[in-house]
Structure 1
Amino acid sequence: MTSAAPHQSILDKPFVLDLFAGPGGLDVAGHALDIPSLGIEWDKSACLTRYAAGLDTLHADVSAVRRSAFESLPPEINVLAGGPPCQTYSVAGHGAGRKNLNKVKEYIERLTAGESDEAIDEDLKTLSDPRTALVLEPLRYAIQATRSPNREKRPYDVIVLEQVPAVEELWHHYAKVLQGTGLPDGTKYKVVVGLLDTETYGVPQKRSRAVLIARREELDAPSLPVPTHRSYGAKEWNRRNEDDQAATGQAHQPTLDEGTAPETEERRETGDKDLQPWRSMGDVLADPVGTHPGRATPFLVRSNYGSSGIPGRRGVRSDRQPAFTVTGRISRFVVFQHLDANIVYEGARFSMNEAGMLQSFPPDYPWSGKAQSQQVGNAVPPLFGAHLLSAALGLPQLDPDALREPWQPATEEQRAKLRSQGCGAADACTDMCPRPEDQAPPRSTARPRKSDKNNSKTSE
Structure 2
Amino acid sequence: MAESPSDRPAPARSRIVDLFAGPGGLDVAAQVLDVPAVGIEWDDDACLTRAAAGLQTVHGDVRDYNPEVAPFQDATVLTGGPPCQTFTVAGSGAGRRALYDVLALVTKLGEATDPDDLDLVLKEAEAFDDERTALVLQPLKWALHAHFLGRPYEAIVLEQVPAVLPVWEAMGEILERIGYRFPVRSRPGSEQSTDRDDDLHLPLAMTEPRSEPRAFVFRTEEYGVPQTRRRAVLIARLGSTPRFPAPTHQRYHKGVKPQAGPSELHPYVSMGQALDRTDKFVVVSNYGSGGDPRARGRRDSSLPSATVTGKISRNRLVDSAGNDLGRFTDAEAGCLQTFPRAYPWRGKGLAQQIGNAVPPRLGVHILSAALGLQPPTEDVWKRLREWLPPERKDG
Does TM, normalized by the shorter one, top 0.5? yes
> Does the C-alpha gap of structure 1 residues 55 and 298 become closer, same or farther in structure 2, counting only changes over 3 Å?
same
Q: Letter of the aligned partner of 1:144 in structure 2?
A: H
Q: CA separation in 2, counterparts of 1:214 and 1:75?
A: 20
Kindly tell me the number of residue pairs found equivalent between the two proteins.
Answer: 353
Kindly state the Cα deviation for residue 10 of structure 1 after the two structures are TM-superposed. 6.9
Partner of 2:284: 302
> How far does the alpha carbon of each residue in 1:25-76 deviate from its partner, in whole angstroms, 9 at most, with x for none?
000001111111000000000000000000000001001113xx84222432
Q: CA separation in 1, counterparts of 2:389 and 2:312?
A: 23
- After superposing on structure 2, the runs of 4+ consecutive aligned residues of structure 1 that deviate more than 6 Å are 5-10, 92-95
Instruction: Give the secondary-structure state (helix, strand or coil) at the position aligned to 2:102.
Output: helix
Partner of 1:29: 29
> Does the C-alpha gap of structure 1 residues 92 and 367 become closer, same or farther in structure 2, counting only changes over 3 Å?
farther
Q: Letter of the aligned partner of 1:369 in structure 2?
A: G
Q: CA separation in 2, counterparts of 1:94 and 1:44?
A: 31
User: 2:235 aligned with 1:213, yes or no?
Assistant: yes
Kindly state the Cα deviation for residue 107 of structure 1 after the two structures are TM-superposed. 1.0
Q: Letter of the aligned partner of 1:119 in structure 2?
A: L
Q: Aligned ranges for residues 10-409 of structure 1 at < 5 Å? A: 11-66=11-66, 70-91=68-89, 96-114=94-112, 116-148=117-149, 153-180=150-177, 182=178, 188-191=179-182, 192-217=214-239, 220-235=240-255, 263=256, 265=257, 267-269=258-260, 273-286=263-276, 295-305=277-287, 307=289, 310-338=292-320, 343-398=321-376, 399=378, 400-405=381-386, 407-409=387-389
Q: What is the TM-score with the length of structure 1 in the denominator?
A: 0.72
Q: CA separation in 2, counterparts of 1:10 and 1:409?
A: 22
> Does the C-alpha gap of structure 1 residues 361 and 15 become closer, same or farther in structure 2, counting only changes over 3 Å?
same
Q: CA separation in 1, counterparts of 2:235 and 2:161?
A: 15
Kindly state the Cα deviation for residue 122 of structure 1 after the two structures are TM-superposed. 3.0
Kindly state the Cα deviation for residue 224 of structure 1 after the two structures are TM-superposed. 2.4
Q: CA separation in 1, counterparts of 2:339 and 2:68?
A: 30
Conservation of the 8 A alpha-carbon contact between 2:243 and 2:372: no
| Unaligned 5+ runs, structure 2 | 183-213
Conservation of the 8 A alpha-carbon contact between 1:88 and 1:95: no
Instruction: Give the secondary-structure state (helix, strand or coil) at the position aligned to 2:46.
Output: helix
> How far does the alpha carbon of each residue in 1:107-158 deviate from its partner, in whole angstroms, 9 at most, with x for none?
112112116244323321221111111111011111222344xxxx311111
Conservation of the 8 A alpha-carbon contact between 1:178 and 1:189: yes
Q: CA separation in 1, counterparts of 2:341 and 2:40?
A: 24
Conservation of the 8 A alpha-carbon contact between 2:226 and 2:336: yes
Q: CA separation in 2, counterparts of 1:44 and 1:388?
A: 27
> Does the C-alpha gap of structure 1 residues 281 and 401 become closer, same or farther in structure 2, counting only changes over 3 Å?
farther
> How far does the alpha carbon of each residue in 1:188-227 deviate from its partner, in whole angstroms, 9 at most, with x for none?
211342111011000000001111111112xx21232111
Kindly state the Cα deviation for residue 306 of structure 1 after the two structures are TM-superposed. 5.6
Conservation of the 8 A alpha-carbon contact between 1:97 and 1:132: no
Instruction: Give the secondary-structure state (helix, strand or coil) at the position aligned to 2:246.
Output: coil
Q: Which has the larger radius of gyration?
A: 1
Q: CA separation in 2, counterparts of 1:333 and 1:363?
A: 20
Instruction: Give the secondary-structure state (helix, strand or coil) at the position aligned to 2:156.
Output: strand
> Does the C-alpha gap of structure 1 residues 71 and 310 become closer, same or farther in structure 2, counting only changes over 3 Å?
closer
Conservation of the 8 A alpha-carbon contact between 2:86 and 2:130: yes
> Does the C-alpha gap of structure 1 residues 357 and 133 become closer, same or farther in structure 2, counting only changes over 3 Å?
same
Kindly state the Cα deviation for residue 97 of structure 1 after the two structures are TM-superposed. 4.8
Identity over aligned pairs, percent: 46
> Does the C-alpha gap of structure 1 residues 112 and 99 become closer, same or farther in structure 2, counting only changes over 3 Å?
same
Q: CA separation in 1, counterparts of 2:9 and 2:221?
A: 25
Q: CA separation in 2, counterparts of 1:172 and 1:210?
A: 10
Conservation of the 8 A alpha-carbon contact between 1:335 and 1:346: yes
Conservation of the 8 A alpha-carbon contact between 2:217 and 2:230: yes
Conservation of the 8 A alpha-carbon contact between 1:193 and 1:224: no
Q: In angstroms, what is the RMSD of aligned CA positions?
A: 2.5
Conservation of the 8 A alpha-carbon contact between 1:145 and 1:155: yes
Conservation of the 8 A alpha-carbon contact between 1:27 and 1:39: yes
Kindly state the Cα deviation for residue 303 of structure 1 after the two structures are TM-superposed. 1.1
Conservation of the 8 A alpha-carbon contact between 2:84 and 2:161: yes
Instruction: Give the secondary-structure state (helix, strand or coil) at the position aligned to 2:282.
Output: strand
Q: CA separation in 2, counterparts of 1:226 and 1:32?
A: 19
| Unaligned 5+ runs, structure 1 | 183-187, 236-262, 287-294, 415-460
> Does the C-alpha gap of structure 1 residues 123 and 207 become closer, same or farther in structure 2, counting only changes over 3 Å?
same
Conservation of the 8 A alpha-carbon contact between 1:355 and 1:376: yes
Q: CA separation in 1, counterparts of 2:218 and 2:132?
A: 24
Q: What is the TM-score with the length of structure 2 in the denominator?
A: 0.83
Instruction: Give the secondary-structure state (helix, strand or coil) at the position aligned to 2:289.
Output: coil
Kindly state the Cα deviation for residue 91 of structure 1 after the two structures are TM-superposed. 4.1
Q: CA separation in 2, counterparts of 1:118 and 1:403?
A: 39
Conservation of the 8 A alpha-carbon contact between 2:126 and 2:134: no
Conservation of the 8 A alpha-carbon contact between 1:86 and 1:164: yes
